Structure 1
Amino acid sequence: MAILKIARMGHPVLLREADPVPDPTAPEIRRLIADMAETMRDAQGIGLAAPQIHVPLRLFVWRGDGSTVSALINPEVEPLGDEVEAAWEGCLSIPGMRGCVTRPRRVRYRGLDGEGRPVEGEAEGMAARVIQHETDHLDGVLYLMRMEDFALFGFTEELARAAADQAR
């Protein structure tokens, strides 16, 4: 396994639609997933899409329950219901920054797992947010593009300092 270089905002790979994974069971895809999981853990992330490591393929890894890493290949995601929620998001491709993004609270997803087997399910709250954030990367969309109010965007350290000051 290897730690891969993470593309940062401004790199063209983050702004293009990723290609479908033609053979999810290929050894190079399994190796890519393992490397992505190691890279995500090393960067202390909770999700990482292939375009973020300069590979324009439709797959991502994420920590569904906080510790177990799962892969979702060629995902399809759809909102469930009309309920939305605003929450702070960060991104390994935009280090040191956070922004408040409104997204559907619940989603249905389907695709293939890291072994190439069909998988589908529903997610809500943080899990739904991570799935949507990572799927956005596969469509060339950064969370900044979904923000409605740039007054709710800033450096992580400054936002934490402001929150601490406000709590006093």
Structure 2
Amino acid sequence: MERSATVFVALTLLVAGSVVVVVVDACDGVPRMSAVEACKQASVGPAMSRTCAETLGTSADEQEATDFMVAAANAATESYKAGKEAVGKVLSNPLAPDGERLPCLVCANKYDDASMLVASTADDAKRCKLSADSLPDLVTAVSAVDECATKMFEESGNTTSVYATAITNRDWTVLVLRLATLVVPRQQLS
């Protein structure tokens, strides 16, 4: 995927009588679509559709799919911070039960792993270097967050704030993966 420059006339300054030209880079071969269409293609159910719409909005204006993938990646990495904060509250509470504290130790590491992998993949996308070879990193990030949720569920059920946050984080991570598949040229996915 190569980067090509597209020139748009962004603003005409009537007072000065000049034209300001903004150069916007685009990745070659990446489809353009609306946020609504991106969410439709990337979502696998009602919960993910809501997460996608909350993350990307519901604009009918077309943008490069890379923009949506990067926006979702940014939202995912922010969600990992919230996950780590929830983990930190449990770990700093001396009265928290071991059944909640022990999986939180796993979650802290898994959030670090997922954050690094998603941020790296988003950086690849911004540089038009996202390829089918990048997708396993996102699968690993999904697995990391899912492992956190699974450990929490096994040890303390589905009623903890850490578990609820991990499930939300997993949805965001899956959304990033699904949007990344819209960016990678189809021939690479075969």
Could you say whether these structures have the same fold, taking a TM-score greater than 0.5 normalized by the shorter chain as the test? no
TM-score interval, smaller chain: under 0.3
- Tell me which structure has the larger Cα radius of gyration: 2
When normalised by structure 1's length, the TM-score is: 0.25
Q: Of Structure 1 and Structure 2, which has the larger fraction of its residues in strand?
A: 1
Q: Of Structure 1 and Structure 2, which has the larger fraction of its residues in helix?
A: 2
When normalised by structure 2's length, the TM-score is: 0.24
